[in-house]
Amino acid sequence: MARSVRIDDLYRFILPGAPALSPDASRVVFPVKRVNRKENRYESHLWLGSPRGGRPRQLTHGKVSDGGAKFSPDGRRVAFVSDRDEKSGIWLMRLDGGEPRLLMATEGGPITDLQWSPDGKEILFNHFSVPKRTDEQKKQEPTFRHITSLYHKEDGHGWFEGEHWSLWTVRVGTGQAKELTKGPHHDREGRWSPDGKRIAFTSARGDDSDRYPDQNHVFVMDRNGKNVRNLTPTAGSRETVRWSGDSAHVYFVGFEGGPGEWLYHEHSVCRVPVAGRGKSKAQVLNPGHDRWVMNMVGSDTAVGFGSVLEPYLDDDGNERVAFGSDEDGSYRIYSVSAEGGDVREEITGKLSVLGMAVRRETGEAVYLAATTGDTGELYRAKLNGTDHSFQLTKLTAPFLRPLKYNKPEEIRFKSGRHEIQGWILKPPTYRAGKKYPCLIEVHGGPMTQYGEAWFH
């Protein structure tokens, strides 16, 4: 018999993560996070499935947190981040059998955003290094902290003590790691060019970058970390860098504007030539779209506030860029021509896309999407303007099956000349014709929106 949601259902959550797609689009790997109630910690394991359907199977096990998996260029292995052996490290696993193998481990500090080089010889990643602490030092927590930076801690990673995110590579054959970027700034989102010669990334390197981290720029450098160049020297914010297929341009999400103005401007999909040496103005590809392209759907179970941006070739062999767009409480997928204009719908409906992987050569896609009725499931789609998707998983069914709950009902009402969107959430025992107390919650805005996501 179905029952109402209880506070201890927090321990039963099943939280799928963003997928990675094999180079031939025949397999998909993704994390599933759960709560270990006894250990009072999250645990995450990798699962392997097929975009063509069928039941996925669990790849990794144990009291660990595995995530961030990426396929090797030949599709035979996955690299992933894990806290096995009580330290953050990069692990490799063959998909034809065998146990995970440690490639490298850090003395301290997290590893994120793994990216295989096109030749499969190196893996690019984000890391900030912290000093190794003994067990005795770990027990002696300070009674106070001297904070000297506005950016001094981060969810999931803890306190910063003067460290900065930087870009590293590790040799797949030897496990030898090399720090490519150094300095008093945070370098993120490293991406290899398709020809393997360069790396694009974002960084806030202004004189007051701690106060105005929104003043972010797109940089490129040689694969060895040399010849760093700023492609977007004008004031503004840029993130989510991706390369064009010919390695001649870098796509990104951003705007041009002064410090602290990031909420004044809609972020757009942009393109900048690599050969411009920072003198070429970035081109806005979707002018007039009039929608925020970052996922701003708030949730306490899903990881949002990111951007979908994935270049691919359409059926005619022309490059397009898939991007996300906030609309009516959803985060949907559109695409735009690499030359600009010609924006079209790709994935619509009432949903919030939390992550997407696309095969560049064909536009085959697998994406994770949440609704008000689940914490996220995987779907497949072909990005060809038909807006047709096929659900691949029912991972959250064991969590939802015993619960009795009502989904929020969308309403529209007038405020002066404007139409306002809202929702009514009726109690689990609601009966038509009976009066109930009404609680009104007004979202302060403009930061985030309520919409298609599960709230406990």
The tens digit of pLDDT for each residue in 221-262 reads: 999 999 999 999 998 999 999 999 999 999 999 999 888 787
Model pLDDT, residue 260: 79
Model pLDDT, residue 338: 97
Q: Do 194 and 153 contact (CB within 8 A), yes or no?
A: no
Over 80: is that where the pLDDT of 63 sits?
Answer: yes
At 365, is the secondary structure helix, strand, or coil? strand
CA 402 to chain centre: 30
417 within a domain of the structure (yes/no): no
- Structure tokens that stand for 26 in this block: 């025949």
Q: Do 103 and 127 contact (CB within 8 A), yes or no?
A: no
CA distances for 230 relative to 15, 243, 272, angstroms: 38, 15, 11
423 within a domain of the structure (yes/no): no
**Whole-angstrom Cα Rg for the chain:** 23
Model pLDDT, residue 303: 62
Q: Which amino acid is at 182?
A: K
Model pLDDT, residue 150: 83
> Which comes out higher in pLDDT, residue 352 or 162?
352
pLDDT (mean) for 196-210: 91
- 361 φ/ψ sector (left φ>0, alpha ψ -120 to 50, else beta): alpha
Span of 55-64, 65-74, 301-310 with lowest mean pLDDT: 301-310
Phi, psi angle pair for 265, to nearest 5°: -120, 140
Best CA proximity match to 451, nearest among 291, 281, 304, 321 = 304
pLDDT band of residue 446 (cuts 50, 70, 90) is low
Q: Is 31 exposed, middle or buried (0-12, 13-18, 19+ CB in 10 A)?
A: buried
- Structure tokens that stand for 22 in this block: 């094999």
What average pLDDT does the structure give for the chain?
91
CATH of the domain at 92: 2.120.10.30
pLDDT (mean) for 37-53: 94
350 within a domain of the structure (yes/no): yes
427 within a domain of the structure (yes/no): no
178 within a domain of the structure (yes/no): yes
> Which comes out higher in pLDDT, residue 143 or 13?
13
Answer positive or negative: Cα dihedral of 359, 365, 368, 369: positive
Tell me how many helices (H) and strands (E) the chain has: 2, 33
pLDDT (mean) for 78-95: 91
Domain span at residue 278 reads 7-410
Model pLDDT, residue 137: 72
294 within a domain of the structure (yes/no): yes
Helix (H) or strand (E) holding 427: none
Model pLDDT, residue 38: 92
> For the chain, what is the domain count?
1
Q: 249-256 and 268-273 as β-strands: parallel, antiparallel, unpaired?
A: antiparallel
> Which comes out higher in pLDDT, residue 358 or 257?
358
436 within a domain of the structure (yes/no): no
320 within a domain of the structure (yes/no): yes
> Which comes out higher in pLDDT, residue 116 or 341?
116
For 17-35, write each residue's pLDDT tens digit: 999 999 999 999 999 999 9
